Structure 1
Amino acid sequence: MTITASAGAEQGLEQTFDTLATLQDQLTGMADGAVRALPGLVIALVILFVTWIAVKIALRAATRVMDRTDMRPSLRNLVRTLVKLAIWLLGLMVALIVVMPGLTPASLIAGLGIGAVAIGFAFQDIFENFLAGVLIMLREKMRIGDVIECEGITGKVEHITLRETYVRKLSGEVTLVPNSMLFKNPVEILTDEVQRRHEVVAGVSYDTDLDHAAEVIRKAVEGVEEVDTDKGIDVFACEFNSSSVDFKVRWWAGSKPRDGHESRDRVIRAVKRALDDAGIEIPFPYITHTFKEAVPLGKAAES
């Protein structure tokens, strides 16, 4: 019994020593590998630092070149982003090849292609917004500073990135709109031109000479400073309303929302003043009651 126990203890000690020796060998191998890889890591860090400097120099050079052109701000942002991405990708590829000599440019590109497909499926919405942002920056319309309307959102374009567009609403809030939404849906650009056409409806009573009323309205609108008379003023009789004949009055003024509010205010004031001076009534709705039998007004008054 004593001999058997001693033999078992010795065998356990041998297994422990073997495990410790194996662990020591593994740690020694890892340390040797780290020491051998240290020069490569240092060189990779130097490459990344050089890449960072190259990005700074390339961005400055690209900015100087673009300053000599009339390139749109959104397109400038796209060029700077593409230059930055291209240099960083090249630098990272070189650093990886230095750290892992077994890698080759062909295998790395093939691995990046397979990874890009997998990442593309996982982040489909993000890449959709990215590509939409690139296409939005490339197209000529919808520049920074334009007032747009899309899917119920109305505001001024403040900034365009590769993923989203910053739209400052007319009430002051900012809305981050995904680029795919602006690319796939109709976008109304209110300030694409310096001026746009505005309109308002003015009604006159049925006993009014319509030709005379139209001339009075036209002269009133022509006297408004904000109205561009060179583009013409339209005064159309458009509808027989319940208590008035309505004119649709159209004119050209500034395209910004505030310009539209100001010109509409001046036009309404001028038309009201001119119709009052001409003795033309602007009626409010009348209600006519019709009875099948005569109403005894005399008896009603006596009671």
Structure 2
Amino acid sequence: MELIEIDKFWTLIHDKLEGWLESGVKHLPNFVVAILLAILFGIIAKFVGRGVRNVLRRTLESKQIADLLASIIKAMVLVAGLFIALDFLGLTGTVTSLLAGAGIVGLALGFAFQDMAENLIAGIAMGIRKPFQIGDVIEADKVFGTVQTINLRNTLVETFFGQIEVIPNKILFRNILTNYSSTGRRRIEVPVGISYGDDPEQAAEKLVEVINQCEFVINKEETAVFAEGFGASSVDLLVWFWIKYPGQTGFMQARHEAIVKIKKALEEADILIPFPIRTLDFGAKGGEKLNTMLSSKHNNDKGENSANDSESTPQSEQGSNNEPN
């Protein structure tokens, strides 16, 4: 009885193995083709990744972003080849399960590393759009300086005080960013005040002539002086001129030289840059002027003093009359 059961057991195993063998032989061509497809897509991915990397390195400023994008494209080609090979073997359900699992894992990683992913995506987007390059002078989120390094997750900016600021890429991507190097020029504005006794037109002509004599001034036909308004003790003017930026002459040096030349030019033309002066005048709209008020107060004080003297005189005379002979 036991021998019969053992024979049945081995018969079942033999049938199962025979079925697997037949199935393996039947699917052997598909298996070979799937392996060849995987190898082929691996070779294609290698060449595609290398070609994309070379193109992106010439296009993008950051080599890290170029390498990352090339790696992503290479991985996509490999995954596509793997899915095609599995589908060729008839494992469609496996492919669907892998895609669903990859989506769930990607969603979980996205929530877990949301900040890092946002900086990474912002870095890739800026690498493609290129709002600034290494060496540009930018200002964003109260940081003003020169771009030193562009990474995948952050950008290093050296301020004009000599410190290195590490700015997350999402801040540069979200907020307003000013690139002072994109146009290659920058305008300098110098406010100056002249006295009310001087002619603003004469001062403007003199200042335009003097500013255009500076070697660092470009687009000299656009150099101008405008009257900005009436100040407390002066007519306020605004001097505009353009410089090459970044250039051999820095912004601070150019403004310094311009202010020095403006002062000398106004002194030579006998045009006064007044000190702050305050004049109190209460005569507007029917009120009394200050000198009238002071004069009236002086007269009143003088009259009171005279009245006090006259009151004290009779008492002294009366006292003298009452003295005995």
Give TM-score, length-normalised by structure 2.
0.63
Which residue of the other structure, out of 95, 98, 105, is the alignment partner of 1:115?
105
Q: Secondary structure at the match of 1:73?
A: coil
Residue in structure 2 matched with residue 80 of structure 1 by the alignment: 67
2:256 pairs with 1:265? yes
Q: 1:286 to 1:62 in 2, by over 3 A?
A: same
CA distance in 2, matches of 1:229, 1:85: 47
Q: 1:172 to 1:224 in 2, by over 3 A?
A: same
1:116-265 matches, within 5 Å, as 116-256=106-246, 259-265=250-256
AA in 2 matched with 1:198: I
Q: 1:86 to 1:72 in 2, by over 3 A?
A: closer
Q: 1:191 to 1:83 in 2, by over 3 A?
A: same
Aligned partners of 1:155 and 1:170 also within 8 Å = yes
CA distance in 2, matches of 1:207, 1:81: 68
CA shift at 1:187, angstroms? 0.6
**Structure 2 alignment gaps of length 5 or more:** 1-41, 83-90, 281-289, 302-325
2:271 pairs with 1:280? yes
Is the radius of gyration larger for structure 1 or structure 2?
2
Aligned partners of 2:212 and 2:220 also within 8 Å = no
Aligned-pair identity (%): 33
| Number of residue pairs the alignment of both structures matches | 236
AA in 1 matched with 2:208: R
CA distance in 2, matches of 1:208, 1:243: 12
Give TM-score, length-normalised by structure 1.
0.68
CA shift at 1:243, angstroms? 0.8
RMSD: 3.2
Residue in structure 2 matched with residue 293 of structure 1 by the alignment: 294
Aligned partners of 1:198 and 1:253 also within 8 Å = yes
Aligned partners of 2:232 and 2:278 also within 8 Å = no
CA shift at 1:106, angstroms? 4.8
Q: Secondary structure at the match of 2:226?
A: strand
CA distance in 2, matches of 1:161, 1:86: 19
Aligned partners of 2:194 and 2:234 also within 8 Å = yes
Q: Secondary structure at the match of 2:131?
A: coil
CA shift at 1:221, angstroms? 0.7
CA distance in 1, matches of 2:53, 2:101: 33
CA shift at 1:281, angstroms? 0.9
Q: 1:190 to 1:219 in 2, by over 3 A?
A: same
CA distance in 2, matches of 1:116, 1:220: 65
CA distance in 2, matches of 1:60, 1:168: 33
Q: 1:127 to 1:182 in 2, by over 3 A?
A: same
Aligned partners of 1:205 and 1:245 also within 8 Å = yes
**Structure 1 alignment gaps of length 5 or more:** 1-50, 95-101
